[in-house]
A and B are shown apart, each in its own frame.
Chain A
């Protein structure tokens, strides 16, 4: 995608961009990856602890404990988002806090909180899925294609 844009650049633009690249502060990729690894790993470990909690104290099985775990994680992300903490975690951890399901919760909850000033129906309701919508769209559609293909192949006896 970046190359397609480069081809449409005039020589003057290309020259400028080379100059500008020299002064551009580069993203600290290695540092960011380490932070993402640590925070992401930590969030998943917390999720694991919560899963065991539900298995041992609430008689869920390993298969079914996933549901309350995810709901609990999203509840926690609501608190962190509402108290203004999640955005600071996000600036530090990047993908480490965006990739876990808490990031999904944060994207919905932050949009909901932000647009309350436009009312609950049009503001909150209309804007809540601004960020998460694409995840739901592509998740559902990808699952549809995968499940369709697999089911058809099974029906045809290929699988």
Chain B
């Protein structure tokens, strides 16, 4: 049901039955390594190109999610997923392998929540019994496309972020038995916000206004206070984006505490890893949510979380044409029933 201006409330509480995540060598050295189902020790994953390895990452996350819930891919009505690569080919090729009717999505790094919001809506209104949703990214494939060849000796500034080589996926169903299960309860769809930042090495600074806009809209539409949630966790704002968003939210009067306000890009890596301002990428929010965060919820650490995935909607061409960076953020609330 539409609630407020841009949010949905899921009265039928779609159930996140199972989830899976995969990662690369850098993620294997990070803080959340134990929550990954599959970890690789190199970026090729036995394939001939980074783009092919990228597809493998998503396939593994989906297969892991299916297997952990005892599902077959034939049981799934729809697959909603995306990535950062041109024409989202890794995801489309994974959909070819999975043979599930497929919605290809592009929201840059906000794709994970775009997928979860849409999947929840579809399941909530009986448009599907079982869906699978997720997102992925691959550091080298993203660098090759958006920035420089991976062996190029360019110098990244401290505001830059490290694209996560990882994927996360979950199975969302209309299971009537919701006792002790994790459900999605609402979603707020973000609008594109552009505050004139044009530095592609400062994604956090560009995305912060979109995150603040969607978070404020969520609390307004659902008439809630931030204290409702144990955690408000953003996708990949990084150090600069998180600090900026926090100040913006304080300015708008929202009382979120620093303990509540976390960021997947800052959770995923260790402090001694050379990631400048933190992790980023469509796979960042997906692999952290569909791994660490949901595991924490299953263990009773969190009861209600709001996941806000943020995306920067630029391309290498738009930057060369002197465009600024428009951004978007989508939020989904996930609760333990």
Contacts and interface: CB of A to CB of B under 8 A. Distances in A.
B156 interface: yes
Contacts, number: 109
Contacts of A10: 196
Contacts of B154: 87, 90-91, 98
Contacts of A26: 158
Nearest to B243: A23
Given A9-B196, A27-B157, A110 B150 contact: yes
Interface in A8-67: 8-10, 12-14, 16-17, 19-20, 22-28, 32
B148 A131 contact: yes
Contacts of B276: 25
The dominant DSSP class at the B interface is loop
Contacts of B248: 19
The dominant DSSP class at the A interface is helix
A114 B144 contact: yes
Given A25-B239, A81-B151, A89-B153, 13 more contacts: A9-B196, A10-B196, A14-B196, A19-B248, A23-B247, A24-B159, A32-B155, A82-B151, A87-B153, A97-B153, A111-B152, A114-B149, A117-B51
Contacts of A97: 153
* Interface size bracket, A side: 35 or more
Interface string B146-182: 0011111111111100000000000000000000000
Given A13-B196, A20-B205, A23-B240, A110 B149 contact: yes
A101 B198 CA distance: 30
A84 interface: yes
B208 interface: yes
Interface string B233-258: 00000011001100110000000000
B274 A91 contact: yes
Contacts of A109: 151
B209 interface: yes
B150 to A, nearest CB: 6
Nearest to A92: B155
Interface string A86-110: 1101111111011000010011011
A25 B50 contact: no
B38 interface: no
Contact of A17 (B51, B144, B152, B196): B196
Nearest to B251: A19
11 contacts: A5-B322, A5-B324, A16-B195, A23-B205, A23-B247, A25-B276, A86-B151, A93-B153, A110-B151, A114-B151, A117-B51
Nearest to A1: B322
B210 to A, nearest CB: 11
Contacts of A70: none
A4 B25 CA distance: 43
B202 interface: yes
B103 to A, nearest CB: 28
**B152, B159, B197, most chain A CB atoms within 10 A:** B152
Interface string A103-140: 10011011101110100000000000011000000000
B155 to A, nearest CB: 4
B159 A25 contact: yes
Nearest to A91: B155
Nearest to A86: B153
B277 interface: yes
